[in-house]
Structures are given as C-alpha cells and as structure tokens.
C-alpha cells in the first residue's frame, strides 16, 4: 500500500472519525489519520494520511482552509449551526446589501474568536461539547484567527430569514459557524451557519476528492493506490534540499546537519524537506543556524525500521 494522502469528499451525517473507520475497513489497515476535523453536518474535503503520511498530519492541517458557507440572519441556535435548537428569532428583517457587505468584509484579517460551546476545545480537561450537553456554559478564552479572504457569492435578503452564501479562506482553528454568529452581532441580530462545504484543505481541492463509494469500489478492485497522492507531493509547499546517499543514510538515523551544509539564505526557524537523490522524501528539518548545527530533525519520514515502513493491520 502506498504511503500518501487520500482525499475524501466527506458526506453529510458522518463524523470525521466515522470516515476513517470506513476507510480502514475498505483498505484493511489501521494506520490512517485525518488532517482537520469536519463537523457531522459539514461536507467536503477531508484529507486522510495513509501509512507514513500520518507523521505529517500537523503540517497539512496547519495550512489555510477554504469553505463555502451559508449565513442565515435573524435566527440563532444553541450549536451556532443548522443542527441545533433555535434559541432566538427575529422576523421581518430589512437588511441592505451595503450593510451586509460591510459586516462580512470587516472580518478580513486577524480577529479574536471565542470557540463555541459545541466544540472539541478543552477547558480544565473537559471538552466544551461535553459541558454543553450538560447544559453548562463556561468562560472561553478568545483565540486569534485570521480571515485571509472573504467573498459574498450570492444570497436573498428579501426572504425571511435572509440568507447569504459566501466563500472564506482562513487559518487553522477558525470556526465558520462562530464567524457567522459574529457577523450577525456586527449587524445587531442573531444569526447562524446553515450550510458548510470545505472546498480546499492542505492544498487539496474538492475537485480531486473521492467519495466513500468510489474508494470502496477501488479497494475491492485492487486499484485504490491510484487514488492516493504520493507522500513526496504532500509537502511540496515546503522548500526542498536534495541529499547525497551518504547524508541520506545519516538522516535516516536523525543526524543533525552541520553548519555550512547549505549556502542558501535559509531563515532560522524555517522548515525544509530533505529528499534523497532518488526523489524519496526522507525528513522534515528545521533550520537553527547554530554555531555547529545548521539544521536539526523535526520528523524522520523514512527509516530502516520495518515496522515503521509497514502497516499495522
């Protein structure tokens, strides 16, 4: 089985863990992880890391994500999305596109977002959604997130309640349902997110995602490897450095790279991918620019350990 990324088009009604369990059964392997959770009612891109690719989950999920969402004004729910119970409603709103556009675009850039109660964020060791199900609400610390781009696609402000469909590109950890609530607050009205599709995550787009039915069929016919994007491509957004065979053998064992190893103007703290002269992704290193050490290992992705190179079944 090839190590790499299997991009799934998550359907509505399944948790991200449900998707992993199904794919594990299709492929007959356990070593699978996802790179960024999607709520059960959300659909779209869910990258799954297969085999050694589970080691690079953090690099993929740290990248910006793009969503197409629907905002509904005048109605608030306890979960901030369409799956919750209505807790507030205002009928007969009269909104203009000028004020709606101004409210939406005001969130472009960094902003402090308070995680919703129905989320997996932990407070004093407890998941917020566990407390929410007990009817409890606790104080949450706002987190700084970034909205890189936000564009209104279409909508209807004349209907009751008014709805707006928009596309947003944002940083890791951004709750789009909370963004919808905050846009409502900007307009002085209750609001919630009534639909969510993730169209891009980790550099993978909805157009290249595969349905669970397609994956099951490919696995049954022995062609599932054709759906898996190679591990070597998964970190293509990081700068690369090609190693000689001598240094590739040392990197396998986690050797640091000495000062003067590269004469490129790498910045301290920068992450680079190390590739063998055969094109195999060996490791991710971080530049430290120390007196003796130029770069140190962060993730060793190829080793001589047969267990590491294989799959737990």
- Residue 278's alpha-carbon distances to 4, 148, 243, in angstroms, are 17, 37, 9
In CATH, what number is assigned to the domain containing residue 289? 2.30.130.10
3-class secondary structure per residue, the chain: CCCEEEEEEECCCCCHHHHHHHHHHHHCCCCEEECCCCCCCCEEEEEEEEHHHHHHHHHHHCCCEEEEEEEEECEEECCCECCCCEEEECCCCCCCHHHHHHHHHCCCEEEEECCCCCCCCEECCEEHHHHHHCCCCCCCCCEEEEEEEEEEEEEECCCCCCEEEEEEEECCCCCHHHHHHHHHHHHCCCEEEEEEEEEEECCEEHHHCECHHHHHHHHHCCCHHHHEEEHHHHCCCCCEEEECHHHHHHHHCCCCEECCCCCCCCCCCCEEEEEECCCCEEEEEEECCCCCEEEEEEEECCCCCHHHHCCCC
CA distance linking residue 105 with residue 262, whole number of Å: 43
Q: Is the same domain home to 146 and 248?
A: no
Distance CA 11, CA 18 (A): 11
**Domain final residue, candidates 197, 225, 259:** 197
| pLDDT value of residue 114 | 87
Per-residue pLDDT of the chain (313 residues; tens, 9 = 90+): 788 999 999 999 999 999 999 999 999 999 999 888 898 899 999 999 999 999 999 999 999 999 999 999 999 999 999 988 999 999 999 999 999 999 999 999 999 998 876 666 666 666 666 655 767 666 678 899 999 999 999 999 999 999 999 999 999 999 999 999 999 999 999 999 999 999 999 999 999 999 999 999 999 999 999 999 998 889 999 999 999 999 999 999 999 999 988 888 889 999 999 999 888 899 999 999 988 999 999 999 987 554 444 433 2
Residues 6+ apart with CB under 8 A from 250: none
271/213 same-domain check? no
Say if residue 106 is in the same domain as residue 57: no
Q: Say whether both 157 and 135 belong to one domain.
A: yes
pTM of the predicted model, to two decimals? 0.89
> In this structure, what token pair is assigned to residue 280?
């195999």
Q: Are 76 and 158 within one domain?
A: yes
d(CA 78, CA 193): 11
* Neighbour order of strands in the sheet with 281-287: 240-243, 271-276, 281-287, 293-300, 257-258
Domain that holds residue 30: 4-63+203-233
Query: Which residue in 3, 39, 78, 182 is the catalytic one?
Result: 39
Counted domains in the chain? 3
Query: Residue 306: what pLDDT?
Result: 44
> Where does a domain end: 171, 197, 223?
197
Same-domain status, 208 and 223? yes
Residues 165, 208 within the same domain? no
Task: Answer yes or no: do 131 and 214 share one domain.
Answer: no
Does 211 share its domain with 253?
no
Same domain for 161 and 52: no
Pick the last residue of a domain from 170, 197, 224.
197
pLDDT value of position 304: 59
User: Which residues 6+ apart lie within 8 Å of 23 measured at CB?
Assistant: 6, 8, 32, 48, 212, 215
Q: Are residues 208 and 250 in the same domain?
A: no
CATH number of residue 98's parent domain:
3.30.2350.10
- Neighbouring CB atoms inside 10 A of 189's CB total 19
Same domain, 185 and 70: yes
The question of whether 182 is a catalytic residue gets the answer no
CA angle 233, 234, 235 (to 5 degrees): 95
- What tokens were used for 177? 């349902």
C-alpha to C-alpha distance for 180 and 164, rounded to whole angstroms: 10
């Amino acid at each position: 089985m090839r190590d790499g990324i299997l991009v799934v088009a998550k359907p509505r009604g399944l948790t991200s863990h449900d998707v992993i369990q199904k794919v594990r059964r299709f492929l007959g392997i356990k070593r699978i992880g996802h790179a960024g959770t999607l709520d059960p009612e959300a659909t779209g891109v869910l990258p799954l890391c297969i085999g050694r690719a589970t080691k690079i989950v953090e690099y993929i999920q740290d990248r910006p994500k793009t969503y197409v969402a629907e905002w509904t004004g005048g109605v608030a729910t306890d979960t901030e999305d369409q799956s919750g119970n209505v807790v507030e409603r205002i009928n007969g709103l009269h909104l203009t596109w000028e004020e709606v556009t101004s409210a939406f675009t005001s969130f472009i850039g960094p902003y402090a977002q308070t995680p919703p109660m129905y989320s997996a964020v932990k407070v004093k060791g407890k998941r917020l959604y566990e407390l929410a199900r007990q009817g409890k609400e606790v104080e949450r610390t706002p987190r700084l997130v970034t909205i890189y781009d936000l564009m209104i696609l279409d909508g209807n402000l004349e209907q009751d309640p008014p709805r707006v469909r928009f596309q947003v590109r944002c940083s890791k950890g951004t709750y789009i349902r909370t963004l919808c609530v905050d846009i409502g607050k900007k307009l002085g009205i209750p609001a919630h997110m009534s639909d969510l599709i993730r169209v891009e995550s980790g550099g993978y787009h909805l157009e290249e995602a595969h349905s669970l039915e397609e994956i099951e069929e490919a696995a049954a016919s022995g062609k599932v490897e054709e759906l898996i994007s190679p591990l070597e491509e998964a970190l293509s957004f990081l700068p690369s450095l090609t190693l000689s065979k001598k240094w590739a053998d040392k990197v396998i064992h986690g050797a640091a790279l000495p000062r003067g190893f590269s004469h490129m103007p790498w910045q301290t703290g920068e992450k680079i991918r190390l590739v063998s002269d055969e094109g195999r992704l060996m490791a991710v290193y971080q530049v430290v620019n120390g007196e003796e050490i130029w770069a140190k290992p962060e993730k060793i992705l190829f080793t001589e350990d047969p267990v590491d190179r294989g799959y737990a079944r």
